[in-house]
Amino acid sequence: MGDKANAHPGAAGRATAADHPASVRNVVLVGHSGSGKTTLVEALALTAGAVNRAGRVEDGGTVSDYDEIEHRQQRSVQLSLVPVEWDGYKINLLDTPGYADFVGELRAGLRAADAALFVVSASDGVDGSTRMVWEECAAVGMPRAIVITHLEAARADFEEMTRICAEAFGGDDPDAVLPLYLPLRAPQGPDGHAPVTGLTGLLSQKLFDYSSGERKESEPGEDLLPGIEEARNRLIEGIISESEDETLMDRYLGGEEIDFKTLVEDLERAVARGVFHPVLAAAPATDGARQGLGTVELLELVTGGFPTPFEHPTPGVTTIDGKPREIKACDTEGPLVAEVVKTASDPYVGRISLVRVFSGTLRPDETVHVSGHGLADRGHEDHDVDERIGALSAPFGKQQRQLSHCIAGDLACVAKLSRAETGDTLSAKDDPLLMEPWEMPDPLLPLAIQAHSKADEDKLSQGLARLVAEDPTMRLEQNQDTHQVVLWCLGEAHADVALERLRSRYGVQVDLVPHRVPLRETFADKSAGRGRHVKQSGGHGQFAICEIEVEPLPGGSGIEFVDKVVGGAVPRQFIPSVEKGVRAQAAKGVATGHQLIDVRVTLLDGKAHSVDSSDAAFQTAGALALREAAADARIHLLEPVSEVSVLVGDDYVGAVMSDLSGRRGRVLGTEQTNGGRTLIKAEVPEIEIGRYAVDLRSLSHGTARFSRSYARHEPMPPQIAERIREEARAAS
């Protein structure tokens, strides 16, 4: 790794198609917003020779030229791929957004990667959301390393931050999180600050000096050796404890000097197996420098310690009809199995799909089968079509560099996949397959929208369809109860980006309107009504009279219609007409315009005319009878109640429970879970949790998450119900 004797001087510029999976490394960068992920990617690209000293690629632009919204918001909002070459390896660097609203982009990066670099700012530390992502990686055994940035900040302390990382990420074994290098600081300046100018390798006991702008290796002075001895011994013990050679620890404790090559090989195996997590330091290159601090060491860790795609198990694969299909990991000659991990729209070339190939080899201009992803409940229709793909390319900022092919284990951008969406599977047209989808967070912030003008209304449907095709964490709902178009998002920042993309990319201007929850009405007690529809206007008239009784039923009963007419007062052929009229009126509501539920309507009597009675007349009479019964009865407004589960750190349990009570919630119980967290279960009216995704994040400093599911409708408090009645009267 970074302690190897000779560092590669930097690969020349272009990212090309990989020739063998063993030469590919897929690495996702994870960390909170502002931790320095994108800056680190640019520093690695500079060291690898992919950009010049100004941070620009050969043909213009920078590696961070991804999205106009990112430039305006000054933060990453989407997954981006930066491929570089180093020492004969192709490294696909997947830069993810650090803001919690874009966790869908992070999950896509985790799906496409074989290892993760957790980027931690020395000035900010480890936040709760980063801890949760670490646990997700641990659950699937993904290899991880830690990079500490912002060491130039005042009071930045590498040793202290390493200790914090060991506590946060080490779990029961803090010695599984240890530094490979110690920062080398220059003498303090007049301001008392001692800048980091190099690194001391703990295994090789060599100095790597970056003060000249390029890495230079030298032997440390005798005065430095005692200072690194304790850290070096602890690192060696940590490596040996994870060694597959069970005799190594006994030999070490017996006083045998373990040779450098054995230690490095054991370190690389432990990192690749995901049982040891080295800590490194990194900083961007200073003005005029060719290499940033620690970038060579990082590239050597990635190529030497991170696993090949062969070591990444292929996610479950089935045939289209659901039969399991065994797929050999990373077989370039096997059946084509690839997955769309990101979808974007380019104003010049149209839709571009970022694809990870798990098996086989993908080539331009071939016809592939696109299989659906099972997210129809979010407005993403399932797919089962053949499509001819366009060119394959490797992205670099806004540039797309042509590729001749993409083998198993590699990533590429695919043009002209007009039907494929994020999460879809690409396979051979004569052997269609489907990969199991990765878990996507449930969008819980509703955004009710309407077109700003008639011109926008014509483009709204297509714009929304394209928007959700790019982002499976969004859910598009056409609510039949409230007649609203609702775009469900993960948070306010996610919503802002969605609206901005609608406006700038698809030319659709929308207005936000208050989100309405689907209320219901029911009768509080028994009531009777008479519907009389008698009209004579020449020729055949209209004649229908019916008498009904309405009584409440238990929740969940719906509308029950009972016929108790005797003596043929209402002819048999018109009884279904009365029921149809009653049900139609119930769907419209009888007091505030919300659907009537949970009542029994009994038809008792009526009158008919041999000539003027008709189906339409008795439908109208049935509706009139229900309205009259409602006018003389107490009508309860029912609101939807959700079952809410909140997973929160123990430090915030009291605040969350108090907040739920303030939302008229009923806490049903709590349950202790792993990692110092508590699961709170409660029932809360939906009208009170429209913005809970935003409020909970603020309340818990981004460490809590929740889920919700519909439980039932139940009566609203009288004062709230009266306010809604007044609003309905004012609107009528």
Give the Å distances, CA to CA, from 659 to 128, 398, 681, 684: 20, 45, 13, 11
- Interhelix angle 260-272/295-305, nearest 10 degrees: 70
Closest CA to 33 of 134, 102, 109: 102
Q: Say whether both 125 and 273 belong to one domain.
A: yes
Closest CA to 682 of 706, 702, 699, 649: 706
The answer to whether 330 touches 307, Cβ cutoff 8 Å, is no
pLDDT given for residue 169 in this prediction:
92
pLDDT given for residue 9 in this prediction:
39
Percent of the chain with pLDDT over 90: 61
Q: Say whether both 78 and 58 belong to one domain.
A: yes
Residue 477: CATH number of its domain: 3.30.70.870
pLDDT given for residue 11 in this prediction:
40
Picking from 52-56, 390-394, 432-436, 710-714, which range would have the lowest pLDDT averaged per residue? 52-56
Give the phi and the psi of residue 99 in degrees, each rounded to 5.
-85, 140
- Rounded mean pLDDT of 635-659? 95
Q: How far apart are CA 390 and CA 379, in angstroms?
A: 26
Which pairing describes strands 425-428 and 367-371: parallel, antiparallel, or unpaired?
antiparallel
- The answer, yes or no, to whether residue 602 has pLDDT greater than 70, is yes
- Rounded mean pLDDT of 695-712? 92
pLDDT given for residue 376 in this prediction:
59
Q: Say whether both 187 and 91 belong to one domain.
A: yes
Residue 576: CATH number of its domain: 3.30.230.10
Q: Say whether both 558 and 704 belong to one domain.
A: no
Tens of pLDDT, residue by residue over 140-149, are 889 999 999 9
Picking from 57-61, 98-102, 289-293, 404-408, which range would have the lowest pLDDT averaged per residue? 57-61
- Rounded mean pLDDT of 282-310? 89
pLDDT given for residue 472 in this prediction:
83
Q: Which amino acid is at 59?
A: D
Is position 261 within any domain? no
Q: How confident is the model at residue 67 (pLDDT cuts 50, 70, 90)?
A: low
Considering 2-16, 131-145, 510-524, the range whose residues carry the highest mean pLDDT is: 510-524
- The answer, yes or no, to whether residue 25 has pLDDT greater than 90, is yes
Instruction: Identify the burial level of 670 via C-beta atoms within 10 angstroms of its C-beta, where 0-12 means exposed, 13-18 middle and 19 or more buried.
Output: middle
Is position 376 within any domain? yes
Is position 530 within any domain? yes
pLDDT given for residue 16 in this prediction:
64
Picking from 369-383, 450-464, 527-541, 671-685, which range would have the lowest pLDDT averaged per residue? 369-383
pLDDT given for residue 92 in this prediction:
96
Is position 26 within any domain? yes
Q: Say whether both 609 and 688 belong to one domain.
A: no
The domain boundary residue, chosen from 633, 660, 693: 633
Closest CA to 670 of 692, 648, 685: 648
Q: How confident is the model at residue 378 (pLDDT cuts 50, 70, 90)?
A: low
- Rounded mean pLDDT of 9-38? 79
Residue 431: CATH number of its domain: 2.40.30.10
Q: Say whether both 146 and 57 belong to one domain.
A: yes
What is the sign of the dihedral through the CA atoms of 226, 231, 237 and 239?
negative
The domain boundary residue, chosen from 569, 603, 633: 633
Residue 687: CATH number of its domain: 3.30.70.240
- The answer, yes or no, to whether residue 13 has pLDDT greater than 70, is no
Picking from 278-282, 311-315, 354-358, which range would have the lowest pLDDT averaged per residue? 311-315
The answer to whether 35 touches 121, Cβ cutoff 8 Å, is yes
Tens of pLDDT, residue by residue over 431-450, are 999 999 888 889 999 999 99
Q: How confident is the model at residue 375 (pLDDT cuts 50, 70, 90)?
A: low
Q: Say whether both 77 and 121 belong to one domain.
A: yes
Q: Say whether both 283 and 215 belong to one domain.
A: yes
pLDDT given for residue 384 in this prediction:
82
pLDDT given for residue 68 in this prediction:
53
Its domain, for residue 507, covers 446-512
What kind and span of H or E run contains 477? strand 475-479
DSSP type of residue 28: E
Residue with the bigger pLDDT between 146 and 98: it is: 146
**C-alpha dihedral over 181, 186, 188, 191, to 10 degrees?**
-100
- Rounded mean pLDDT of 179-187? 88
- Rounded mean pLDDT of 7-24? 63
- The answer, yes or no, to whether residue 725 has pLDDT greater than 90, is no
Is position 13 within any domain? no
pLDDT given for residue 654 in this prediction:
95
- The answer, yes or no, to whether residue 398 has pLDDT greater than 70, is no
Is position 716 within any domain? yes
pLDDT given for residue 62 in this prediction:
52
The answer to whether 565 touches 697, Cβ cutoff 8 Å, is no
Q: How confident is the model at residue 662 (pLDDT cuts 50, 70, 90)?
A: very high
- Tokens representing 476 are 């598009």
What kind and span of H or E run contains 395? strand 392-396
Q: Say whether both 211 and 305 belong to one domain.
A: yes
The domain boundary residue, chosen from 464, 489, 512: 512
pLDDT given for residue 10 in this prediction:
39
Q: Which residue has the tokens 């029994």?
A: 600
The three state secondary structure string of 6-20 is: CCCCCCCCCCCCCCC
- Rounded mean pLDDT of 681-703? 93
DSSP one-letter string for 500-539: HHHHHTT---EEE-------EEEESS-EEEEEEEEE-SSS
pLDDT given for residue 420 in this prediction:
86
Q: How confident is the model at residue 64 (pLDDT cuts 50, 70, 90)?
A: low
Q: How far apart are CA 462 and CA 361, in angstroms?
A: 33
- The answer, yes or no, to whether residue 580 has pLDDT greater than 90, is yes
Q: How far apart are CA 467 and CA 463, in angstroms?
A: 6
pLDDT given for residue 300 in this prediction:
94
- The answer, yes or no, to whether residue 103 has pLDDT greater than 70, is yes
Q: Which amino acid is at 282?
A: A
Picking from 223-232, 413-422, 440-449, 578-587, which range would have the lowest pLDDT averaged per residue? 223-232
The answer to whether 209 touches 216, Cβ cutoff 8 Å, is yes
Number of domains in the chain: 5
Q: How confident is the model at residue 8 (pLDDT cuts 50, 70, 90)?
A: very low
Q: Say whether both 629 and 647 belong to one domain.
A: no
Q: Say whether both 90 and 193 belong to one domain.
A: yes
Is position 666 within any domain? yes
Residue 121: CATH number of its domain: 3.40.50.300
pLDDT given for residue 44 in this prediction:
94
pLDDT given for residue 59 in this prediction:
46
Q: What's the chain's average pLDDT? A: 88
Is position 196 within any domain? yes
Q: Say whether both 505 and 593 belong to one domain.
A: no
